[in-house]
C-alpha cells in the first residue's frame, strides 16, 4: 500500500492477509488512493500481480498488464454505478490468468472481486472510512509501514479526483517491487511412465529447491517462487499435447526430457514468452527455436571432449527401445556427425531375447568402431537393458578392450561412486567382467557426494528422513540445480530492470555462479551451465568405480587424477587419426576429395576387372583339374575295373549289396569276365572298391557345368558318418556317382539279415552314427531330401554312413527327368512333403527329421516301416498324407527305452515346427546312452588316439618351452658378445683374432668420480652408474656403434667393428659423443641432484685387433696402440669436452658432414709425446643443447670436483658415519 504521510489516521487498519506490505517509509493518506465508498469491502484474491506499462480509466480504453491486453468489458470505471467488468473475460497478468468476477464497481454498494489472482494497481491502495482492504494470503512489500486510514475529508472524491489519476498511471508503468508476484516453475518430465525416473522424486527436489530459494537472500527479493510438477508422456505426440495444456500452469519450465518434444516446446515457449530450461534438448538442433537455455553442459560437447582426448573417432550408438532414448541417440549421433566424427551405426535394442545381440552385431559389422555409446538407463541404477547389452557384448567378445562402452545417461547427473561398491556389480561376476570395458562420464561432486548432500538435507529436516538416499535417482540433484539455475536467471533479469519474460530470462542466464546440490555451477556466456566432469573406471576385480580423469570444458584436455584406466586385456581401443578432430583438415591424407573419389572409382574398376579375369582363369584351371590330375572328378573305363558279385546280380538298382568279408584283396577270386557298367554297380579304383549310383535315363552325352559345380560342393563334405563322394563315372553312355564302397551293405540289408544279432548297444550305435552324420550335413546347410534305410551304408567296422545326400540337386542340375516314385519308397517322406510335390523334390530340414524317426522305427523293430499296419503301401501313404486320423508306426515299450520312443514320436510330429532339431536329437540321444561309447571298436580306437594325441601335445608344449628358453639364452649371449662371435662359440668353433684397418674408439669417464663415490653409499654409486649407463645405452642404439665394455666409471664404445662401415666410423662416434654430451647436461643423480655429473670424452681413430679372451666368461676385447691413445685422449680431456685426435679430425673433415672443431693446441700424451688435438663442439644441424664447460682454474688440475660442490648436509651426514672423510 502506498502512504503519503507517516501518521496513522484514525483507528482503521488495512489488512493484507497474513503479511504486511510496505511501499516506502510513509503511510497512505486518502488522496490518490482507490476508494470504495460505503461500507463494502475490496477483496484482492490470494496474491498480488504487478501491472505493466499503462492503465486507462475512462472511456472505452484498453488495460495493458505485462505486455498483454485484458479486455474488461466495453467500458472502464466511471463515477456512479457504471460497471467495469462484465461476463467472464480473461486477461493475462504476469503470465497468469486473472479471472474477474461478474461485476466490478468503483462506487456505490457494489463489490470488487479479483478472482484467484489480482494485479497490484500502482503503488497505493486506500480503504476510506470504516472499510478494509484485504489482499489474500500473500502480501506484496509496498513500503515500510501499514496504513490505517481516517474518513475522507468532506468533498473528497476518492479515485475520481482527476489530479490523482496521472500519478496512479505513472505508478502502473513501474516494474514490480517486492514480493508482489509468484514465479511458478513447471518441472516437466516422464515421471510416471518411467519407473526409474520416478525414483528421482521430482516433486521433493522441486520443493527443496523452492524452499531454499525463498530463504536465499540473493534471489528472494523480487519474486516468491513456487513449483508444479507436470507429467510428460513417454510417447512424443502425447508429450507435446501435454505441453500445450500447460500454458497457464507455470511461469517458466524445466524440461522436457524427450528430445522429440523439444521443438514443439521451444515454439510454445516463444508463443507464451516463457523461459524453457532443459538438459534433454540438444543444442544446435535446427528445429529448436524459442527462449531456451541449458542448465547442464551440452552432452555431445562433453562426450566429444573425451573422444578427442583419447583420439577415438569411430563411434556407434545403441539405444533402448523407448522413444526417449531413441530420440536421444539420434540427436547425439547428429551432433557428433556435425562435429565431423564418423558415427556409422545407430542401433536400437528391440524388446526380445536377441535384441541386444542383434544391435551388437550391427556394431560388429561396422568399420573400426572404438566407442559404443549406450543411450539407456545405467545398469548401476537398475537399467536392465544396459545389463543385457553388456552381457551380450561379453558373450560376443566385444568387451575385451577392443571397444569402450560409455553410458549416455550418466552425463546428466552425478553418479555417487564414492558410496562404495555397487551391488549390481557385486552380485554378478559376468556383469562385473563386462563392466571392465565401460568408462563412465558423470558430473563431479568434489566436496561431497550426492548421498552426502541428500543426508545433509535430511539432517536439516528439509526432506523426509525415512527416505533411503541410495534408493533416490541422482537426477534428483539435476532437477534441483535446474530450478536454481532458472531462478538465478529470473533474478538477474529483474535486477536489470527487465520484465521477467522468456527471452529476457534466457538472455540473463549467464555470468553468475551458484552452489548446486553437491557441486558448484557456473553460467557461461553461451547460456549454458558449466560444471566439471570425471571419467570413472571400474576396479580390475572389484565393484567400485575410481576417477581417472577430470574434465572441465573451460580448460583444454583432461586432467589426470593419478589412477590409470584398467583395460580387460591390458590395452584399450586403438586410436584414430587426429584429422577427425580438426575442423580444417580433410581426413583423407590431405588430397582433393574429387581426386580421391576418382582414384577410388578407378581402383574399384581395376579390382572388378582383375577379379573377373581371375575368376575366369580360376574356372578354367578348376575345369582342367576336374578333368585330369589327382583332383579330377570325371572317371572313365580307364580309371575303373568293374567286377561281378553274386549280390550285384540279385540287386542292381534297388539296394546296396551285402559284400561281407570282401575287400580289394579278394578281387582275384571274383569273376571279372563280362563285367560292364550295365551289369554291375561295383568297381575297383586305385585298389579300393567303389560303388556306382547310376543316373536314370537311357544315355547321358555330357555332364553339365552346373552338375560339376554342385558335385564339387558335395565332394568337400568329409565326416566319418558321411559317405565320401569320389567323382562321376561317364563312359559308354552311363552317368553315375562314384562313392566309397561299404562292405556290409546298406542299413536295410543289415536289418533284414537274420543271422546278424543286434542288441540295444548295437542298435543305439547305428542310430547315433546316423544322427551324427545328419547333424554334420545340417550344419553345412545340406538337405538330404531322400533319407531312408537303403541310403545308409555300413562299413567293415560297423560304422554307419549317410549317402545319396545332394542326389536330388545333382538330378536337377543335370536336367534329368524325374520318375514317379513307388508307394513303398515314400514311407520315409514327411506328410507336408507328400502334399507338395515341388517341396518334396527339394526337401526340408524338418522333413529329414521325420525320415530319421522312421529309420529309428526300422532299427528298433528290425522290420520295414509301418510293418505293424496290415495295409497296402498306397493306403498307408494316403492316410499319412491326409489325416485325421494320424497314421504312424507303433513301437512296443519292451523293444527300446521309453525315452527313445518318446524322442521318435516327437520327430514324426504332424506339425513340422514341433519336431526337434538335429542338435536337440543328438543331445537327447547322448543323455539316453548316459554318455557311454556305444561302439566297442571305436571306443578302443578313440582311447588309443586320445593317448597318442595327449603325448603329442605334451611333446609340443615342452618343445615350445625349450625354444623360448633358447631364445632367451641367445638374446643374452648376443648382448654380451657380437652375434658372429656368439654363433661361433655356440657351435664350438674357435674364434680367431681379427685385424681391423681403421676404427674409431670412444672413451669417457666421470670427472670427480672418486670424490662422489667417497661421499656416497655403495648402493647409491651403483644406482648412479646404472642410471647413467642406461642413458648411454639408449643413445648408442641409434648409431652404428658397438659397446665394448664398462669398467667403473669408464665407458668404451667402438665403431667400424665387428662390422666394418668404411670411413663412417668417425662420424658415427662423433654424433654419438654429441648426443651423450647433450643428454648428460640434464642428467642428475638421484641422491645428490644438486651436483652435476660432468664427463670428459676422448676420441681416436686407428687400427686394432679384436678377439675373444678366455674360456670361462669369455670377453670380446680390443688390442693395439689405438686403444691406449684413445684412453689418453680421454684422460687429458676436460669436463663437458669432447677431446679429438688429429687422425679422427682428418676423417671427419673427409666426411664433410659439418662437424665443428676447435683447435686445442699441443697436448702431452703419455708415451706419444706432444701432438695437436682438437675440441669437437658441435655439428651443423645439431640443435640439442650442450652443457657449458666450467671455467678453468689457474694452477688447478681441473680434473676433479671440489668438496664445496658437495651439499653440506651430505658432508655432515657422511662425517658422522666416516669421520674425517668430508674434510
DSSP for 219-288 reads: TTTT-EEEEEEEE--SSHHHHHHHHHTTGGG-SEEE----GGGHHHHHHHHHHHT--EE-SSSPTT-TT-
Torsion of CA 667, 672, 678, 680, to 10 degrees: -30
| Mean pLDDT across 654-658 | 42
Residues 646, 651: Cα–Cα separation, whole Å: 9
Burial (CB < 10 A; 0-12, 13-18, 19+), residue 1008, is buried
With residues binned 3-state (H G I as helix, E B as strand, rest as coil), the percentages for the chain, rounded to 5, are: 35, 20, 45
User: And the C-alpha cell for 1031?
Assistant: 642413458
Alpha-carbon gap, residue 1206 to 1220, rounded angstroms: 15
Q: Count CB neighbours of 1124 within 10 A.
A: 16
Q: Exposure pattern of 594-633 as b/e (b: 16+ CB <10 Å)?
A: eeeeeeeeeeeeeeeeeeeeeeeeeeeeeeeebeeeeeeb
Residue 658 clears pLDDT 50, i.e. is over it: no
Q: What is the pLDDT of residue 155?
A: 43
Count CB neighbours of 137 within 10 A: 12
Could you tell me if 1128 and 1003 are in contact, meaning their C-beta atoms sit under 8 angstroms apart? no
The answer to whether 543 and 314 are in contact (CB under 8 A) is no
Distances (CA, A) of 1187 to 1012, 1032, 1074, 1081, 1136: 20, 16, 11, 5, 6
pLDDT at residue 670, as a whole number: 40
Nearest to 658 by CA among 536, 748, 567: 748
On whether residue 1104 sits in a domain, the answer given is: yes
Contact 66, 52 (CB under 8 A): yes
pLDDT in the model for residue 389? 95
What's the rounded mean pLDDT across residues 830-834? 91
Highest average pLDDT, of 234-243, 314-323, 698-707, comes from 314-323
| Count of Cβ atoms closer than 10 Å to residue 13 Cβ | 15
pLDDT digits (tens, 9 = 90+) for 372-388: 999 999 999 999 999 99
* Confidence (pLDDT) at 39: 36
Together in a domain, 278 and 315: no
Q: Rounded to whole angstroms, how far apart are CA atoms 1096 and 936?
A: 84
Neighbours of 416 (CB within 10 A): 25
- What's the domain count of the chain? 7
Strands 1169-1179 and 1137-1141: antiparallel
Q: Exposure string (b/e) for 179-200, b if CB count within 10 Å is 16 or more?
A: bbbbbbbbbbbbbebbebbebb
Q: Give the CA dihedral 87, 91, 97, 101, nearest 10 degrees.
A: -30
Residue 76's contacts (CB-CB under 8 Å, 6 or more residues apart) are 56, 57, 58, 59, 60, 61, 63, 84
Q: What is the pLDDT of residue 627?
A: 65
Q: How far apart are CA 452 and CA 448, in angstroms?
A: 6
Q: Any residues with CB less than 8 A from the CB of 1117 and at least 6 apart, and which? A: 1044, 1045, 1106, 1107, 1108, 1109
Residues 565 and 609 both lie in one domain: no
Give domain status of residue 693, yes or no: yes
d(CA 1052, CA 1037): 14
Q: Are residues 508 and 571 in the same domain?
A: no
Helix (H) or strand (E) holding 596: helix 593-627
Task: State the burial class of residue 1194 (Cβ atoms within 10 Å of its Cβ: 0-12, 13-18, 19+).
Answer: exposed
Alpha helices in 686-735 (DSSP H): 705-715
- Residue 252 has which C-alpha cell? 517458466
Cα 506 from Cα 291, distance rounded (Å): 6
Residues 77 and 139 in one domain: yes
pLDDT band at 1168 (very low <50, low <70, confident <90, very high): confident
Q: Is residue 1090 part of a domain?
A: yes
Q: Angle formed by the axes of helices 898-907 and 845-861, to 10°?
A: 140
Kindly report the average pLDDT of the chain as a whole number.
78
Decide: 49 and 68 in contact? Cβ < 8 Å: no
Most confident by average pLDDT, 88-97, 648-657, 732-741: 732-741
Asked whether 4 and 32 are in contact (CB, 8 A), the reply is yes
Euclidean distance between CA atoms 909 and 915, whole angstroms: 6
Q: Which domain holds residue 944?
A: 935-976
**Cell numbers describing residue 207:** 520443493
Per-residue pLDDT tens over the stretch 338-358: 998 999 899 999 988 899 999
1220 lies in a domain? no
**Confidence band, pLDDT 50/70/90 cuts, at residue 80:** very low
Partnered with residue 1045 across adjacent β-strands are 1052
* CATH number of domain containing 219: 3.40.50.2300
**Looking at residue 969, what is its pLDDT?**
81
* Closest residue by Cα to residue 542 from 566, 571, 573: 566
Point out which residues pair with 1137 in neighbouring strands.
Answer: 1096
- The pLDDT value recorded for residue 132 is 37
Residue showing cell 531454499: 212
Q: Do 321 and 280 share a structural domain?
A: no
Distance separating alpha carbons of residues 1042 and 977, to the nearest angstrom: 10
Cα torsion angle, 456, 462, 466, 470, sign: negative
The per-residue pLDDT for 625 is 63
The pLDDT of residue 25: 34
Q: In the structure, what pLDDT confidence band is assigned to residue 613 with cuts at 50, 70 and 90?
A: very high
Are 542 and 673 found together in one domain? Answer: no
Q: Over the stretch 862-914, which tens digit does the pLDDT of each residue have? A: 888 988 888 899 999 999 988 888 899 988 888 888 889 999 999 999 999 99
- Is residue 587 in some structural domain? no
Mean pLDDT of 1165-1182: 88
1052 occurs within a structural domain: yes
In a domain, 279, yes or no: yes
Per-residue confidence (pLDDT) for residue 809, from 0 to 100: 85
For CA atoms 693, 698, 703, 708, the dihedral sign is negative
Phi, psi of 491 (to 5 degrees): -65, -40
What's the whole-model pTM score? 0.42
The more confidently predicted of residues 186 and 984 is: 186
Task: Write the burial class of residue 676 (CB in 10 Å: 0-12 exposed, 13-18 middle, 19+ buried).
Answer: exposed
Provide the pLDDT for residue 120. 36
Cell numbers that stand for 1065 in this block = 666410423
Can you say whether the dihedral through the CA atoms of 420, 425, 426, 432 is positive or negative?
negative
Last residue of a domain, one of 569, 588, 621: 621
Residues 138 and 3 in one domain: yes
CATH of the domain at 1031: 3.30.70.1230
Q: Are residues 1064 and 1175 in the same domain?
A: yes
String of b and e for 1026-1037 (b: at least 16 CB within 10 Å)? eebeeebeebbe
Residue 875: CATH number of its domain: 1.10.510.10
pLDDT at site 846: 93
On whether both 690 and 732 belong to a single domain, the answer is yes
Tell me, yes or no, whether 588 lies in a domain: no
Which of residues 179, 206, 235 is at a domain's end? 179
Domain identity same for 417 and 484? no
| Percent share of the chain, pLDDT over 70 | 77
Q: Are residues 555 and 436 in the same domain?
A: yes
Whole-number Å distance between alpha carbons of 653 and 790: 11
Q: Are 1210 and 1184 in contact (CB under 8 A)?
A: no
CA 575 vs CA 182, 332, 344, 402, 440: distances in Å: 54, 21, 16, 11, 19
Q: Which residue has better confidence, 1114 or 421? A: 421
The residue-averaged pLDDT of 40-65 equals: 36
Give the pLDDT confidence of 465-510 residue by residue, as tens digits: 999 999 999 999 999 999 999 999 999 888 888 788 888 999 889 8
Residue at grid coordinates 694452477: 1195
Answer yes or no: are the C-beta atoms of 1185 and 1077 closer than 8 Å.
Answer: no
1164: cell is 702431452
Lookup result for grid cell 512424443 = 236
Rounded-to-integer distance, Cα 509 and Cα 1123, Å: 79
pLDDT of residue 818: 78
* pLDDT for res 1193: 64
In the DSSP assignment, the letter for residue 556 is S
Half-sphere exposure of 265 toward its Cβ, with a 13 Å CA cutoff?
A: 33
Strand partners, 1099: 1002, 1140
Spatial CA neighbour of 803 closest among 888, 691, 910, 902: 691
Contact 572, 535 (CB under 8 A): no
Stated as kind and residue range, the H or E segment containing 429 is helix 429-434
Q: Which residue has the cell 491486453?
A: 69
* Radius of gyration from C-alpha coordinates of the chain: 49
Q: How confident is the model at residue 40 (pLDDT cuts 50, 70, 90)?
A: very low
Q: Are residues 649 and 757 in the same domain?
A: yes
Please determine, for residue 125, whether its predicted confidence score (pLDDT) is greater than 90: no
Amino acid at each position: 500500500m502506498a502512504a503519503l504521510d507517516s501518521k496513522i489516521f484514525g483507528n482503521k487498519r488495512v489488512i493484507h492477509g497474513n503479511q504486511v506490505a510496505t511501499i516506502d517509509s510513509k503511510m497512505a493518506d486518502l488522496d490518490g488512493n482507490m476508494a470504495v465508498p460505503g461500507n463494502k469491502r475490496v477483496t484482492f484474491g490470494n496474491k498480488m500481480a504487478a501491472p505493466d506499462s499503462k492503465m486507462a480509466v475512462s472511456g472505452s480504453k484498453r488495460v495493458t498488464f505485462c505486455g498483454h491486453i485484458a479486455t474488461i468489458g466495453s467500458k472502464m470505471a466511471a463515477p456512479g454505478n457504471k460497471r467495469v467488468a462484465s461476463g467472464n473475460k480473461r486477461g493475462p497478468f504476469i503470465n497468469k490468468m486473472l479471472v474477474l468476477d461478474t461485476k466490478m464497481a468503483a462506487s456505490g454498494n457494489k463489490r470488487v472481486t479479483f478472482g484467484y489472482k489480482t494485479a497490484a494497481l500502482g503503488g497505493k491502495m486506500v480503504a476510506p472510512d470504516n472499510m478494509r482492504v484485504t489482499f489474500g494470503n500473500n502480501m506484496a512489500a509496498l513500503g515500510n509501514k501499514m496504513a490505517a486510514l481516517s474518513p475522507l475529508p468532506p468533498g473528497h472524491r476518492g479515485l475520481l479526483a482527476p489530479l490523482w489519476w496521472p500519478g496512479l498511471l505513472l505508478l502502473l508503468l513501474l516494474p514490480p517491487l517486492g514480493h508482489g508476484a509468484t514465479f511458478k516453475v513447471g518441472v516437466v518430465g516422464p515421471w510416471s511412465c518411467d519407473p526409474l525416473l520416478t525414483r528421482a522424486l521430482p516433486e521433493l527436489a522441486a520443493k527443496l529447491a523452492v524452499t531454499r530459494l525463498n530463504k536465499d537472500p540473493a534471489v528472494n527479493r523480487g519474486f516468491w517462487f513456487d513449483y508444479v510438477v507436470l507429467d510428460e508422456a513417454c510417447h512424443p505426440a502425447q508429450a507435446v499435447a501435454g505441453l500445450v495444456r500447460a500454458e497457464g500452469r507455470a511461469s517458466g519450465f524445466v524440461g522436457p526430457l524427450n528430445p522429440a518434444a523439444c521443438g514443439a516446446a521451444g515454439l510454445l515457449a516463444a508463443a507464451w514468452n516463457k523461459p524453457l530450461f532443459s538438459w534433454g534438448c540438444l543444442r544446435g538442433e535446427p528445429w529448436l527455436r524459442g527462449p531456451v537455455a541449458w542448465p547442464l553442459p551440452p552432452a555431445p560437447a562433453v562426450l566429444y571432449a573425451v573422444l578427442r582426448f583419447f583420439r577415438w573417432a569411430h563411434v556407434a550408438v545403441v539405444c533402448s527401445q523407448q522413444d526417449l532414448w531413441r530420440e536421444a541417440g539420434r540427436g547425439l549421433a547428429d551432433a557428433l556427425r556435425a562435429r565431423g566424427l564418423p558415427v556409422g551405426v545407430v542401433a536400437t535394442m528391440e524388446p526380445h531375447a536377441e535384441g541386444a545381440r542383434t544391435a551388437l552385431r550391427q556394431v560388429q559389422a561396422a568399420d573400426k568402431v572404438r566407442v559404443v555409446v549406450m543411450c539407456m538407463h545405467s545398469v548401476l541404477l537398475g537399467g536392465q537393458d544396459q545389463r543385457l547389452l553388456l552381457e551380450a557384448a561379453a558373450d560376443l567378445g566385444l568387451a575385451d578392450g577392443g571397444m569402450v562402452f560409455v553410458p549416455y545417461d550418466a552425463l546428466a547427473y552425478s553418479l555417487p561412486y564414492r558410496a562404495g561398491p555397487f551391488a549390481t556389480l557385486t552380485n554378478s561376476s559376468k556383469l562385473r567382467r563386462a563392466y571392465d570395458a565401460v568408462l563412465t562420464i558423470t558430473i563431479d561432486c568434489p566436496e561431497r557426494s550426492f548421498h552426502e548432500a541428500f543426508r545433509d538435507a535430511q539432517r536439516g529436516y528439509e526432506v523426509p528422513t525415512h527416505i533411503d538416499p541410495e534408493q533416490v535417482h541422482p537426477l534428483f540433484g539435476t532437477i534441483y540445480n535446474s530450478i536454481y539455475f532458472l531462478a538465478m536467471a529470473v533474478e538477474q533479469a529483474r535486477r536489470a530492470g527487465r520484465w521477467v519474460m522468456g527471452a529476457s530470462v534466457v538472455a540473463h542466464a549467464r555470468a553468475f555462479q551458484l552452489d548446486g546440490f553437491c557441486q558448484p555451477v557456473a553460467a557461461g556466456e553461451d547460456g549454458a551451465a558449466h560444471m566439471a566432469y570425471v571419467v570413472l573406471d571400474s576396479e580390475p576385480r572389484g565393484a567400485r568405480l575410481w576417477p581417472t580423469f577430470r574434465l572441465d570444458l573451460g580448460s583444454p584436455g583432461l586432467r589426470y587424477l593419478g589412477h590409470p584406466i584398467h583395460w580387460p586385456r591390458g590395452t584399450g581401443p586403438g586410436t584414430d587419426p587426429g584429422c577427425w578432430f580438426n575442423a580444417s583438415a580433410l581426413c583423407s591424407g590431405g588430397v582433393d576429395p574429387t581426386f580421391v573419389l576418382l582414384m577410388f572409382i578407378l581402383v574399384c574398376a581395376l579390382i572388378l576387372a582383375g577379379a573377373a579375369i581371375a575368376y575366369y582363369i580360376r574356372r578354367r584351371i578348376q575345369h582342367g583339374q576336374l578333368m585330369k590330375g589327382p583332383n579330377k572328378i570325371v572317371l572313365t573305363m580307364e580309371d575303373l575295373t568293374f567286377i561281378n558279385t553274386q549280390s550285384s546280380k540279385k540287386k542292381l538298382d534297388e539296394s546296396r549289396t551285402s559284400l561281407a568279408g570282401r575287400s580289394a584283396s579278394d578281387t582275384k577270386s571274383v569273376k571279372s569276365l563280362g563285367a560292364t557298367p550295365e551289369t554291375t554297380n561295383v568297381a575297383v579304383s586305385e585298389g579300393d572298391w567303389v560303388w556306382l549310383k547310376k543316373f536314370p535315363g537311357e544315355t547321358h552325352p555330357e555332364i553339365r557345368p552346373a552338375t560339376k559345380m554342385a558335385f564339387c560342393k558335395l565332394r568337400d563334405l568329409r565326416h566319418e558318418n558321411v559317405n565320401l563322394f569320389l567323382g562321376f563315372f561317364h563312359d559308354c553312355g552311363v552317368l553315375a556317382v562314384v562313392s566309397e564302397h561299404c562292405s556290409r551293405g546298406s542299413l536295410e540289408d543289415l536289418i533284414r539279415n537274420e543271422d546278424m544279432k543286434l542288441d540295444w548297444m548295437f542298435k543305439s550305435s547305428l542310430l547315433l552314427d546316423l544322427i551324427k552324420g545328419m547333424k554334420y550335413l545340417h550344419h553345412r546347410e545340406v538337405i538330404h531330401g531322400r533319407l531312408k534305410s537303403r541310403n545308409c551304408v555300413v562299413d567293415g567296422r560297423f560304422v554307419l554312413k549317410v549317402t545319396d545326400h545332394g542326389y536330388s540337386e545333382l538330378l536337377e542340375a543335370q536336367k534329368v527327368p524325374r520318375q514317379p516314385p513307388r508307394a513303398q519308397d515314400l514311407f520315409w517322406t514327411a506328410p507336408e512333403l507328400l502334399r507338395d510335390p515341388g517341396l518334396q523334390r527339394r526337401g526340408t530340414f524338418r522333413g529329414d527329421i521325420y525320415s530319421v524317426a522312421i529309420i529309428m522305427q526300422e532299427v528298433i523293430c528290425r522290420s520295414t516301416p509301418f510293418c505293424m499296419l496290415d495295409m497296402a503301401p498306397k493306403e498307408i501313404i494316403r492316410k499319412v498324407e491326409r489325416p485325421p486320423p494320424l497314421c504312424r508306426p507303433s513301437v512296443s515299450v519292451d523293444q527300446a527305452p521309453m525315452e527313445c520312443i518318446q524322442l521318435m514320436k516327437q520327430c514324426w510330429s504332424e506339425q513340422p515346427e514341433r519336431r526337434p532339431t538335429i542338435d536337440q536329437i543328438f543331445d537327447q540321444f547322448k543323455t539316453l546312452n548316459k554318455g557311454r561309447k556305444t561302439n566297442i571298436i571305436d571306443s578302443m580306437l578313440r582311447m588309443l588316439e586320445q593317448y597318442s594325441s595327449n603325448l603329442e601335445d605334451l611333446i609340443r608344449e615342452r618343445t615350445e618351452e625349450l625354444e623360448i628358453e633358447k631364445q632367451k639364452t641367445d638374446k643374452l649371449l648376443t648382448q654380451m658378445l657380437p652375434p658372429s662371435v656368439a654363433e661361433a662359440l655356440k657351435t664350438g668353433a674357435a674364434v680367431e683374432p681379427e685385424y681391423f684397418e681403421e676404427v674409431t674408439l670412444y672413451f669417457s669417464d666421470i670427472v670427480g668420480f672418486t670424490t662422489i663415490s667417497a661421499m656416497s653409499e655403495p648402493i647409491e654409486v651403483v644406482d648412479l652408474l646404472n642410471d647413467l649407463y642406461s642413458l648411454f645405452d639408449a643413445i648408442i642404439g641409434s648409431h652404428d656403434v658397438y659397446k665394448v665394455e664398462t669398467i667403473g666409471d669408464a665407458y668404451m664404445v667402438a665403431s667400424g667393428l665387428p662390422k666394418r662401415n668404411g670411413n663412417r666410423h668417425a662420424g658415427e662416434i662423433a654424433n654419438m659423443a654429441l648426443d651423450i654430451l647433450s643428454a648428460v647436461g640434464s642428467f642428475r643423480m638421484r641422491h645428490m641432484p644438486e651436483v652435476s655429473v660432468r664427463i670428459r670424452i676422448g676420441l681416436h681413430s686407428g687400427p686394432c685387433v679384436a678377439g675373444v679372451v678366455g674360456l670361462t666368461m669369455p670377453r670380446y676385447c680390443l688390442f693395439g696402440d689405438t686403444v691406449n691413445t684413445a684412453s689418453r685422449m680421454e684422460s687429458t680431456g676436460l669436463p663437458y669436452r669432447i677431446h679429438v685426435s688429429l687422425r679422427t679430425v682428418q676423417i671427419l673433415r673427409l666426411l664433410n658432414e659439418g662437424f665443428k672443431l676447435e683447435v686445442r693446441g699441443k697436448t702431452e700424451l703419455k708415451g706419444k709425446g706432444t701432438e695437436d688435438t682438437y675440441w669437437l663442439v658441435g655439428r651443423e644441424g645439431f640443435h640439442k643443447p650442450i652443457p657449458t664447460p666450467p671455467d678453468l682454474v689457474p694452477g688447478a688440475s681441473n680434473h676433479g670436483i671440489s668438496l664445496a660442490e658437495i651439499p653440506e648436509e651430505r658432508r655432515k651426514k657422511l662425517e658422522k658415519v666416516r669421520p674425517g672423510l668430508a674434510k
